[in-house]
Amino acid sequence: MLRFLTFSLLYIASSLLAKPIVAVSILPQQTFVQKIAGEHIDVLLMVMPGNSPHSYEPKPTQMMALSQATLYLSIGVEFEEAWLGRFASQNKNMRIINISDSVEKIALDEHNHHEEVHEQHETKHKENGLDPHTWTSPNNVKIMAFAIYEALVSIDKKHEVQYKKNLDLFLQEIGQTQERIYTILKDTPKHTNFLVFHPSWGYFAYEFGLKQVTIEVEGKEPKPKEIIEILQKSKEEKIHVIFAQAEFSDKSAKIIAKEGNLNVVKISPLSPEWSSNLIKMAQAIANK
């Protein structure tokens, strides 16, 4: 009887001390949540490093861990379209909040590499034509930081003061990142073009007055004729850099770089080092 009572008390104590589990889809989200939550929340990452949020399938161990989550913070990536409904069915007590709901969306620049992101912004598109890579813009991350803060307070009111302090510190960091990028780009002409394989950087381009030129055509490697067109455009626009990422093939990027005498920079929008990643992007565009 004493052993049973001791075990019961230990179980209750461990339950009371357990941190809420907050699930997120991608690495940048994990960074944002940790910045605001600090040590008071355990973050469960679903799309593991090196994988694409366009096609990732969760492992059984992740699904088991998700059954204990209190909150899922979605962000609008393709992975969620296939899995959020299943997650909700498995854990009916888990709240799901999209932290990008208040972000103004732009069109996904994937249909041809002559389209310009800042022009597409003025056109209405159906929902599945919108760019999900919202976190590549510091302004958007400010909006999402507030959404994360409100979501955390909704499940853990007792740490509201600490969450607010952490939010304020994170907003300062975002502001400093913006200032650093503007300083790096101050001598870069407005609407400067940069080449990317996958259209991941539209919001970054839009915020800082740049133009993303996409190599892939509707998710596929460009044909020889299209490569020639891209090379011609890179020459006309004096493009000096092409960005490739580990989640996608860099075959065509290497061909274009060699033929056009361009620098290839490997960079992923899914890096957990969100601030330094954007600064690296700006430095490569400014050729610094």
Between 255 and 4, the more confident residue is: 255
- Do 172 and 199 lie in one domain? The reply is no
Tens digits of residue pLDDT in 235-246: 888 888 889 876
- 52 and 166 fall within a common domain: yes
Q: How many domains does the chain have?
A: 2
**Between residues 1 and 196, which one has the greater pLDDT?**
196
d(CA 283, CA 109) in angstroms, rounded, equals 23
Q: Over the stretch 19-69, which tens digit does the pLDDT of each residue have?
A: 999 999 999 999 999 999 999 999 999 999 989 898 899 999 999 999 999
- Whether the predicted pLDDT of 228 surpasses 70: yes
Indicate if 219 and 167 belong to the same structural domain: no
Hey, what are 249's tokens? 């093939």
- Contact of 25 with 47, CB cutoff 8 Å: yes
Rounded to whole angstroms, the Cα distance separating 69 from 45 reads: 11
pLDDT band at 7; cut points 50, 70, 90: very low
Same domain, 59 and 97: yes
- Could you tell me the residue range of the domain that residue 195 belongs to? 187-286
Is 142 found in the same domain as 31?
yes
**Local confidence band at 219 (pLDDT 50, 70, 90 cut-offs):** low
Final residue before a domain boundary, out of 143, 161, 180: 180
Please compute the mean of the pLDDT values over residues 5-11 and round it to a whole number.
42
- Write the CATH number for 70: 3.40.50.1980
What pLDDT digit, counting tens, does each position of 96-107 carry? 999 999 999 999
Let me know if residue 111 belongs to a domain: no
What's the whole-model pTM score?
0.85
Lowest mean pLDDT among 32-41, 192-201, 213-222, 271-280: 213-222
| DSSP, residue by residue, the chain | -HHHHHHHHHHHHHHHHPPPEEEESSHHHHHHHHHHHGGG-EEEESS-TTS-TTT----HHHHHHHTT-SEEEE---HHHHHHHHHHHHH-TT-EEEETTTTSPP-B---S-TT--HHHHTTS---GGGB---GGGSHHHHHHHHHHHHHHHHHH-GGGHHHHHHHHHHHHHHHHHHHHHHHHHTTTSPTT-EEEESS---HHHHHHTT-EEEE-SBTTBPPPHHHHHHHHHHHHHTT--EEEE-TTS--HHHHHHHHHHT-EEEE--TT-S-HHHHHHHHHHHHHT-
Average the pLDDT over each of 91-105, 123-137, 185-199 and give the range with the smallest value: 123-137
